[in-house]
Structure 1
Amino acid sequence: MRGFAVPNEEQPRTAWLYQEFMTMRAEWMLLLFLSASGAAHASATRGFDVLHYDVALIPDIAGKQVAGTQAIQLRSEIAALTEVVLDSGKLKVSAISVQGRPQHFAQHEGKLQITLDHPLKRDAVATLQLTYTGSPPYGLEFAPERDEVYTIFSTSQWMPSVDAPDERATLRLSVTLPAGLLATGTGRALPVSTLADGRVEHRWQLDTPMPGYVYGFAAGRYQQAQARHAGIALRFLSAERSPEQLQAIFARTGGMLDFFAARAGLPYRGDYQQALVANTIGQEMAGLSLMSEAYGQEVLDDPDHVALIAHEAAHQWWGNRVTCAGWEHFWLNEAFANFMTAAYLQQSQGEAAYQAQVQRWRSRLEALRAKGADHALVYDSWSAPTGDDRAVVYQKGAYVLHLLRAELGEEVFWRGIRDYTRHHDGQSVVTADFQRAMEKSAGRSLQPFFAQWVYSAAP
């Protein structure tokens, strides 16, 4: 992780900090893509569709290790399913069974290959039982000095799963922790249980199928603050900030959720929790966002420095609920979150705040062009993205959405965004889905625009 560059005098401090956070966030996310397959894999190609994960974890915070048991319910998508391949990172699987029958398996280069003893017919459902341990190099982060453990990219580093973003499943997660820790996780919180040895089992149930990369949790010796906004329960956690400071840091969360809900045409669903952890660039999960303690201090120093909070909140719609079908369409996640953040800043801080974002995107695109690194927003493969590739997805992609807004005008553009988001809620999409929605709103073909700005490097 690199340090911050020094801002120039013409660049607002808030904009500079946001740019640095987004650049570092993009670099961190490379870890996910290097561990994943890099291309879209529909369930029919995999041969199966995961329906539900049931995971029980016991983290050893001091030892930076984890032990887990897992039940994976899946359905065959082919005539005779004989092999199931999952992503498993550096985890060491010790046993796999189906209805008590041991299954043969092998692990190689982050993949778990399971050979079923009885082929699974099309539409038949089976449940795999797994036992594993590991010392994840990333994905599950430990901060023993804070009695803290939390998840970042990628999920397969702490539970065998399918990393591809088109795979959606429900989740039941339990994490057994020492007494005295507070925890937050994806999904609806279930009652905690105190075990005979004094440890506490925290549990969550995610009832809406979501991509595996937005599963996760955080736990530590936190302080907390709570609030309600328009029926949404908000909860803020930190090991270093007081409840009063947490209220100040996340004071604008409710307004952000209102703004994005209006732009999406979809109300926020469920409760929303935000935690400041030891070290992260920013991590969206289902109903949960993580940011660093250092970023929290930045917001205390400058209450307008809320772009990262807004970015992660925007992902609750664009990224979580409407998800790119494959990483080669990743701009549909990150460019949207970047653009929606700028639109929120425009509404909350004024036109100058929005234009500062636009100018930064434009400058980054000009720099890419100058070095011959401009690229179409849709990639043939996203298996080993460079820093320039990530700049294309984050910054150029947001700039293209700004240009499309100017091309269509406010009413047509935002109607198209709402129709696209509502129509594909709970789905994984490709760029053509977005183009069709915007063309329907415009009442005309947008192929020339998309050909120039989306499907090729603009001249």
Structure 2
Amino acid sequence: MKFIIKISFLFFGFCNILFAQTNNAHYNSIDVQHYKLTLSVNDSTDVIDAEIEVSIKFKRSLERFELDLVSKDSTGIGMQVDSVYQNNIVVDFSQKDNKLAIEAKHVFPRLPYTYTIKYSGIPKDGLIISKNMYGDRTFFGDNWPNRAHNWFPCVDHPSDKATIEYFIKAPNHYQVIANGYEVEETNLTEDLKQYHYKTKVPLPTKVMVIGIAKFAVQNTGITHNIPVSTWVYPQTKAAGFNDFAIAKDILDFFIEKIGDYPFQKLANVQSKTRYGGMENAGNIFYFEKSVTGNQEHKDLIAHEIAHQWFGNSATEIEWSHLWLSEGFATYFTNLYILEADGEAAFRKRLTDDREKILNFYKTQQTPIVDTKTTDYLKLLNPNSYQKGAWVLHMLKAKIGEENFWKGIKTYYDFYKFKNASSTDFKKVMAQVSGKNLDTFFTQWLEKTGQPKIKASWIHGGDKLRIMVEQLQEQTFEFPLNLEIIYSDGTSEIKTVEVTNQKEPFVVTTKALDVKEIKYDPNVNLLFEMDNE
């Protein structure tokens, strides 16, 4: 979702924001098909006037259903619903505990019903109305993880996807960017303009956004029939156009490696997002100061573009499976760096990521698939990002390059525009590779930590006897590569399969003196070496 650069913003700038673990009970009752949001903004107040049509299919018969919507509080901040209609008939509703409960009389499962909700208010969050770094007024959606319901009624959970269209009315000195393609742009009055955007494919609410600001816009070009554009503040036009020019090449790389781009455009947008980057579907929002003119954030741009496939299109079923989004985006960024900058840069990123994982484990011992953490912001940690990426790196080594890419493409093709769990991903990779991956996925995703290795060796003739001991409590199974360096300066790599807490190995070598052994020379294992 977000690039790791934003972590400091999250924990220090917004440490007061907590998100409770989702209760899926009411989500299991309805399936939103489409949102049609009409919204008006102005320059005199922060109040938005809105109407939304929510098209729903019911999964079972029920008398009332709920949508997520933050209610107006005692300070006057929040949304106040004025009326709800079903087919022009007024229906009863109530607002309580940030839920909008709506009467659902005489509904039948699997049939479509549309409810029109008229409401207004000042968004508490989600739609950020403020001034940018140049003092210009801006309106930017910023929904992750479940903040969309601060500004429109919805099922604010990644498991419920829907198409969306926007009718945005704004003073005509602004431009508007949103998900999907621009259907129409209309001058309503001398001072007011309406923008109509619409998506063709379903999205999770976390990446449904609008951006309203003064922009300089450049059409970067078209690749694989996908238009690429840059939207930056007019004051940073030259720098921004230069910074985001690389997006087209990055998009090329991912299309060729993964498959067709899932959306109708790629717009890179300078914004007020609280994150380093937020991967909103088809229009990525980057933090204001990412624009420098020096192309300093190639990895940030690659990370957010990778999310268009993983996170936006193939989406995690629940927050605890966040690594399917963030771990994937992190690793595919590394693979792009391998392509663009070479093997040394790639290995350095892996080594740096490994160090972040080890340091994080010293302060927090939780698994990647973390079902106990109820503050979603705390899931934005090295487990979800760097360790998730390392799982993919080790998986590639385990099943081979060809099977890895075949599995990635198969997984994406099946789950695009759908939701997946870690088990779903495992099943695809196991089927493609023909390998049993149960132990691999269990030890790396569901258990905490990583191997901490202590090794000792003796050498005689052409035999190297090495003892490998795991010092951590849980036993891991993994291949350990050894680079054996001889007295004449030559070397060779041997591999031992470690399966026990303490295990001896005998390795055949050249009949030369062994000068040194390097462990994991090609950076293929997530581990810690005990040097005592």
Q: Following TM superposition, by how much is the alpha carbon of 1:146 offset from its aligned partner in structure 2, in angstroms?
A: 1.2
Q: Distance in 1 between matches of 2:13 and 2:62?
A: 35
Give 1:88 shift.
0.8
Report if the CA contact (8 A) 2:68-2:100 is conserved: yes
In structure 2, C-alpha distance between the alignment counterparts of 1:377 and 1:126, rounded to whole Å = 39
Q: 1:292 to 1:369 in 2, by over 3 A?
A: closer
Report if aligned partners of 1:136, 1:158 keep a CA contact under 8 Å in 2: yes
Matched, 1:415 2:403: no
**Residue of 167, 172, 175 corresponding to 1:174:** 167
1:258 alignment counterpart: 252
1:266 CA displacement: 2.8
Measure the CA separation in 2 of the matches of 1:445 and 1:32. 41
**SS of alignment partner, residue 121 of structure 1:** coil
2:101 is matched with which residue? 113
Sort the Cα spacing of 1:345 and 1:27 in 2 relative to 1 into closer, same or farther, 3 A.
farther
Written as runs of structure 1 = structure 2, the 5 A alignment for 1:288-327 is: 288-297=283-292, 300-301=293-294, 303-327=295-319
Displacement of 1:186 after TM fit? 0.3
Task: Output the CA distance in 2 between the equivalents of 1:67 and 1:31.
Answer: 28
1:134 aligns with 2:121: yes
Preserved CA contact (<8 Å) 1:331 1:393:
yes
1:239 paired with 2:221, answer no
Find 1:456's aligned residue among 422, 427, 447: 447
| Residue 205 of structure 2 corresponds to residue 205 of structure 1 | no
Contact 1:23 1:391 in 2 (8 A): no
* Distance across 2 between alignment mates of 1:81 and 1:31: 36
CA drift of 1:25 comes to: 6.0
- For residues 53-80 of structure 1, the C-alpha deviation after alignment (integer angstroms, 9 at most, x for no partner) is 11001123452221111111111111x2
Counterpart position of 2:84 = 96
RMSD of the alignment, in Å? 2.4
Query: Corresponding residue for 2:65?
Result: 84
- Offset at residue 30 of structure 1 (A): 8.6
Pairing of 1:360-371 with structure 2 (within 5 A): 360-371=352-363
Q: List per-residue Cα deviations over 1:397-424 (Å, max 9, x = no partner).
A: 1222222222223222222111111121
- Cα offset, 1:444, TM superposition: 1.1
Residues 20 and 214 (structure 1 numbering): CA distance in 2 closer, same or farther, change over 3 Å?
A: closer
Aligned residues: 433
Q: 1:412 to 1:207 in 2, by over 3 A?
A: same
Report which of the two has the higher share of helix. 1
Q: Is residue 399–residue 435 contact of structure 2 (8 Å, CA) maintained in 1?
A: no
TM-score, normalisation: structure 1: 0.88
Q: Determine helix, strand or coil for the equivalent of 1:56.
A: strand
1:328 pairs with 2:320: yes
> Is residue 151 of structure 1 aligned with residue 141 of structure 2?
yes
| Aligned twin of 2:48 | 66
Deviation at 1:168, TM superposition (A): 1.2
1:48 corresponds to: 30
Point out the more displaced range, 417-426 or 99-108.
99-108
Once the two structures are overlaid, the 10-residue window that deviates more, 438-447 or 226-235, is 226-235
Look up the equivalent residue of 2:22 and give its one-letter code: G
1:228 deviation in Å? 1.3
CA contact (8 A) 1:38 1:381 kept: no
Matched, 1:356 2:348: yes
Q: Output the CA distance in 2 between the equivalents of 1:309 and 1:321.
A: 17
The 1:395/1:91 distance shift into structure 2, 3 A limit, reads farther
Say whether the 8 Å CA contact 1:278–1:293 is kept in structure 2: yes
Q: Letter of the 1:113 partner, please give it.
A: A
Question: Counterparts of 1:348 and 1:99 in 2: how far apart (Å)?
Answer: 55
What is the deviation of 1:389? 6.3
- Give the TM-score of the pair, scaled to structure 2: 0.76
Once residues 328 and 10 of structure 2 are traced to their aligned partners in structure 1, the CA distance between those partners, rounded to angstroms, is: 15
Any gaps of 5 or more consecutive residues in structure 1?
1-17
Give the drift of 1:316.
0.7
Which residue type is aligned with residue 150 of structure 1? F
How much has 1:265 moved relative to structure 2?
2.6
C-alpha contact (below 8 Å) 1:105/1:114 kept by paired residues = yes
Contact 1:276 1:292 in 2 (8 A): yes
C-alpha deviation, 1:217, in angstroms: 1.2
Q: 1:422 to 1:353 in 2, by over 3 A?
A: same
Three-state SS of the structure 1 residue aligned to 2:106 is strand
CA contact (8 A) 1:30 1:385 kept: no
Determine the C-alpha separation between the residues in 2 that align with 1:261 and 1:28. 35
Contact in 2 for aligned 1:280/1:292 (Cα 8 Å): yes
Q: How much does 1:386 deviate?
A: 6.1
What is the match of residue 34 of structure 1? 19
Given the superposition, is the C-alpha separation of residues 415 and 33 from structure 1 closer, same or farther in structure 2, using an over 3 Å criterion?
farther
Matched residue of 1:94: which SS? strand
**Aligned with 2:107: secondary structure?**
strand
CA separation in 1, counterparts of 2:346 and 2:98? 42
Pair 253,220 (structure 1): closer, same or farther in 2 beyond 3 Å: same
* Structure 1 position 276 matched with structure 2 position 259: no
Distance change >3 Å, CA 26–CA 343, structure 1 → 2: farther
1:55 to 1:93, Cα distance in 2 relative to 1, 3 A: same
Aligned to 1:424: 415
Contact 1:87 1:110 in 2 (8 A): yes
Residues 276-322 of structure 1, C-alpha deviations (whole Å, 9 max, x = no match): 0245322111211011220112xx23x25311111111111001110
| Aligned residues with identical type, % of pairs | 24
Structure 2 stretches lacking a partner, 5+ long: 71-77, 450-473, 475-532
**Aligned mates of 1:274, 1:361 — CA distance in 2:** 26
Q: Cα deviation per residue 1:230-272 (whole Å; 9 max; x = unaligned)?
A: 2321221111445433331112111111111222233454211
Partner letter of residue 143 of structure 1? Answer: S
Evaluate the alpha carbon distance shift between residue 23 and residue 135 of structure 1 in structure 2; reply closer, same or farther with a 3 A threshold.
same
Contact 1:261 1:268 in 2 (8 A): no
1:335-392 Cα shifts (integer Å, max 9, x gaps): 1111111111111122232223222321122123323x23222222453246476332
Equivalent pair of 1:27/1:387 in contact (CA under 8 Å): no
